[in-house]
Amino acid sequence: MARTAFLSLTTLFFWVLSCTCALADYSILINKGINRLTLYDDEQAVKTFPVATGKNRSLTPEGTFTIVSKLVNPYYVKKNIPGGSPRNPLGPRWLGLSCGGGGEYGIHGNNDPSSIGKYVSAGCIRLRNEDVIWLFDRVPVGTRVKIINIPQTTNTPPVTNYTVFVDGRALTLNSGAKPLAAGETCLVPVRPAIEAMGYSGTWAEKEGRFDIKAGRCTISVWDNSNRAMVDNHPVLLPARSVISEGGSLCVHPDFFSAALGGKVSLEGKVSIKIVSPVGLLAGSGFIIPPPEL
């Protein structure tokens, strides 16, 4: 009877554990700028590891991929080294990425722990052996992997004053990044501009996305993209958004009219005039309607 009860409890434990793993919504963010890999469960960071990436920026691909293969003690074809050998540079585990069909680019261990944190690989992402085993045991095939390159800012960037006009009221703002020249126009740091209009914004690093709350309306804009969304309605901008050296997400001025419903005009390359929807700053609770697309 006791044995039966023990087996039943053991079975229940592993059933609960498997259900918990199945419910996990894992994704991986790799930032080459600081050589860090972060595992997320939904929107929550679970654990961060130091990694080694490509000898130059072009070697480790950037973008959004998926894990398409998982191998224990991978064989190193290039030098005919069997899996499990202490000479094997791939270490004990391999997580193959879709950008190379699962066999060209991967997240793997290594036989040189001193390389972790450095730019030394031919394109793969190296982890310490104990870290790659930990990761391997948790993430399934199909896990999304986003690779970005945002350098860590160690010095305080110079403060730049620029003027935003909201409903005819001039506000001189301080920002760590000045507007960026883009042909005949400029890209404008989005956070100080929307905060001047009375909105709040949050940066979702894992998604590379900046979300703006305006009443019941949610507006999103992505880095390195010319797309935006207004309550799931797509908006295309004339130019891609860019993360400046100071770490600010800069957007094309049309974002403020196409997505936020205001009126925008440029005054040279250092000022942008934004006329927000009537009554917004007066506290009337005005809700920005999605554009008709």
Which residues participate in catalysis according to the annotation? 108, 124
CA-to-CA distance for 96 and 72, rounded, in angstroms? 11
Q: Do 84 and 92 touch, CB atoms closer than 8 A?
A: yes
Beta-carbon contacts of 7 under 8 Å, excluding residues fewer than 6 positions away, are: none
Q: Which of 182, 293, 174, 172 is nearest to 228 (CA)?
A: 293
CA-to-CA distance for 226 and 146, rounded, in angstroms? 18
Q: Which single residue is written with the structure tokens 């595992």?
A: 39
Would you call 252 exposed, middle or buried from its count of C-beta atoms within 10 A (0-12, 13-18, 19+)? buried
CA-based diameter of the chain, in Å?
84
The two three-digit tokens of residue 100, written as one number: 């190379």
Q: Do 139 and 95 touch, CB atoms closer than 8 A?
A: yes
Task: Please give the distance of CA 96 from its chain centroid, rounded to a whole number.
Answer: 20
Q: Which of 290, 36, 230, 16 is nearest to 151 (CA)?
A: 36
